[in-house]
Amino acid sequence: MFRRTKSDTTTPTVPAEPQAKPGGKGRPTPSRKEAEQARKAAYKKPRNRKEASALRREKMRTERAKMQSALQTGDDRYLPAADKGPVRRFARDYVDARYSVMEFALPILLVVSLVGVVFSRQFPWLAGLVNIFFLVMIMVIAGDWFLLSRGMKRAVAKRYPDEPVKGIGFYAVRRTMQMRRWRLPKPMVKRGEFPM
C-alpha cells in the first residue's frame, strides 16, 4: 500500500557542490571552540608577575632596538619624541650642514688646558694667557649659539609657517655641542648641503 513500486525508483543523483557566493568569505565559519582558541592564542596573558615582567622587558628591548636603528638610519617613525617631525629633521640637517665653533672648541680647549697645566710652573704668565683664551672662546661660542638660534628660528618660520618654533633654537644649539661623528640621529647631509 505504501510501498514503492519498482518503476518509481530513480537513479540517485549526486548533490552538486554549492557554489560560493560572490560576496562570501571563501572559507567556512569557525566553530565557537576554534574561535575562542584563536583568540586566546593571540592574547597570551602572563600567569604570574615573573612572566609579566619578562614580557614587559622583552617589549621594551624590542622598542629600544627599533629606536636605536632609527637613530642610525633617521627613520622618523621610531625616533624619540624629542627628535620626531619635519621641523626637527630640518633643524638637524641645518646644523649638520654648517661648520660650528663648538665642534672645534672642545679639542682646542683640551689641548690649551693641558699646555697650561704642564707649563704653568715654568712660565707663570702662560696661566694668565690660558685664562684669557678660555674667556674669549666662551664668548665666541656664546655668539655662535646666539646666531645659530636666531637663524634657525627664522628658517623654520619661513619654511614651516604653521609649526611652532618654540624650543627649536635650543635643539639646534644642543646638537652643535656634540661632535659631528657622535651625533644621534646620525647626520644625513654633507657639509654645505643646506636644506632649502
Domain of residue 148 covers: 99-181
Sign of CA dihedral 175, 180, 181, 187: positive
Determine, yes or no, domain membership for 85.
no
Determine, yes or no, domain membership for 33.
no
d(CA 69, CA 183): 14
Determine, yes or no, domain membership for 1.
no
pLDDT < 50 stretches in the chain = none
Determine, yes or no, domain membership for 128.
yes
Number of separate domains in the chain? 1
pLDDT at 185: 92
What are the backbone angles phi and psi of residue 190, rounded to the nearest 5°?
Answer: -85, 170
Decide: 97 and 192 in contact? Cβ < 8 Å: yes
* Number of other residues whose CB lies within 10 A of the CB of residue 155: 19
pLDDT at 18: 57
pLDDT at 22: 66
pLDDT at 13: 62
pLDDT at 33: 93
Determine, yes or no, domain membership for 58.
no
pLDDT at 195: 82
177: left (phi over 0), alpha (psi -120 to 50) or beta: alpha
Q: Tell me the three state secondary structure of residue 9.
A: coil
* Number of other residues whose CB lies within 10 A of the CB of residue 151: 14
Determine, yes or no, domain membership for 38.
no
pLDDT at 124: 87
Determine, yes or no, domain membership for 119.
yes
pLDDT at 94: 92
Cα dist. 166→79, 87, 88, 149, 156 in Å?
20, 11, 11, 11, 10
Determine, yes or no, domain membership for 78.
no
Decide: 141 and 102 in contact? Cβ < 8 Å: yes
Contacts with 153 (C-beta within 8 Å, 6 or more apart), sequence order? 165, 168, 169
Which three cell numbers mark 72?
642610525
